[in-house]
Amino acid sequence: MQTFRIKGKRLKNWKTFHSEFKKEMNFPDYYGENMNAWIDCVDELTDKPTLLEIDNGKYLKENAPELLNAILECGAFVNYRKIEVGEKPNLIISTNS
């Protein structure tokens, strides 16, 4: 299983959110730094089981809940798109405190 680790304390706002995901998940240079682009890039990486670990989830929940919610909602949408075309939902999202 491929694993990507995101440091929750580095996600302070939308700018840092997109820069951290681009760096840690090796998004392409043309990554549009919006949630539609995030969904597309994560979708491309989840042809096989993929674990997305968010370190310091409690910190993120307390300090930038909109960013944590976006990860969870858009991650669910990535899996939904897979199911809609008859593929397995391969994205697992995990947080720790």
Specify burial of residue 30 (Cβ count, 10 A radius: 0-12, 13-18, 19+): exposed
Give the single-character DSSP code of 27.
-
Name the DSSP class of 8: G
Average pLDDT over residues 17-35: 97
Nearest to 53 by CA among 27, 77, 26, 71: 71
Q: Is the pLDDT of residue 30 over 80?
A: yes
Amino acid at 58: K
- pLDDT of the residue at 96: 86
pLDDT at 97: 74
Q: Which domains does the chain have, with CATH numbers?
A: 2-95 (3.30.370.10)
Write down the pLDDT at residue 19. 98
In this prediction, residues 21-28 reach a mean pLDDT of 98
Per-residue pLDDT reduced to its tens digit, 32-86: 999 999 999 999 999 999 999 999 999 999 999 999 999 999 999 999 999 999 9
